[in-house]
Structure 1
Amino acid sequence: MPSSPTQNQPKPKPGLTLWFNRFASRAAHFTGTPWVFVTAVLSIVLWAATGPLLGFSEVWQLTVNTGTTIITFLMVFLIQNTQNRDAVAMHIKLDELIRATRNAENSLLDLEELTEDELDQFRNTYEKLAEKARQTQQKKKTAA
């Protein structure tokens, strides 16, 4: 009996990659909570309220500019890591659905590895199939 794809799951990556993946997942989950959003809004409101007290000084402006720049810079990498893993997981799931579906076109497995020209060829083929299906549907409607 052939082994199923779930029996051949890869082992977790050791070291820094595993640590970063876990950290990025937890950070993305945490920063996506309503409490973090409320905290961010309250921080900006507090910062804005202290403006008149500090005379809208350069230090006052630099504080929020530096803080938001650093947070944004770091979040880009966390979000990209999360998106990369989510995209890979989605492709694996779609590949499994294609593989397991009877009469599916198995050449569509792993399309994300193709060049732009190869993808264009597939797109053109499926655009023609879609157009043919629409024409057939239209003929059925007019005949009814």
Structure 2
Amino acid sequence: MEVSDALTEALGTPWALALSILLIAVWALTGPIFRFSDTWQLVINTTTTIITFWMVFVIQTSQNRQAKALQFKLDELIRSIPGARNRMIEAERESTEELKRQEEEFQKTAERGGVRDVPPEEIEAKAQDKRAGR
């Protein structure tokens, strides 16, 4: 297991939340001892800034991994559905203009009740498959 995986697992638990609440409580309770000095305030400010900066990267790594896994699953679904548009497998690599064009195409399909234009060759191939018992 990678370090980022371990961190994501550990920091996403109720124990991590409880620990952070405990640390803030200890810091707040020590305020009178340190006379609420600038150093006392600097400790929490610096600590939270460093942790926040660090967590941005941990969260981003986790989200990137989840997005890739989800994309692979969607690609597998597209490949497994007969008649699905295999060109959609690479949709995340398309330009913004191409994605807009595809969105318009899907909008038109939805307006027709979900029926897409099927090329005659595809209809004939499916009919032959049915006749052949496939």
- The TM tier, using the shorter chain, reads 0.7 to 0.9
Distance 1:96 1:121 in 2: 23
Q: Which has the larger radius of gyration?
A: 2
Which residue in 2 is equivalent to 1:58?
A: 38
How far 1:53 moved relative to its partner?
2.2
Structure 1's unaligned 5+ residue stretches are: 1-20, 135-144
Q: Is the 8 A contact 1:28 1:78 kept in 2?
A: yes
Distance 1:39 1:117 in 2: 48
Q: Is the 8 A contact 1:91 1:110 kept in 2?
A: no
How far 1:131 moved relative to its partner?
2.4
CA RMSD in angstroms, aligned pairs only: 1.5
Distance 2:40 2:113 in 1: 63
Helix, strand or coil at the partner of 1:53: coil
Aligned residues: 114
Which residue in 2 is equivalent to 1:87?
A: 67
1:29 aligns with 2:14: no
Structure 2's unaligned 5+ residue stretches are: 115-134
- Report the TM-score when normalising by structure 1: 0.74
| TM-superposition CA deviations, 1:71-108 (whole Å, max 9, x none) | 11111111111111111111111001001111111111
Distance 1:63 1:46 in 2: 12
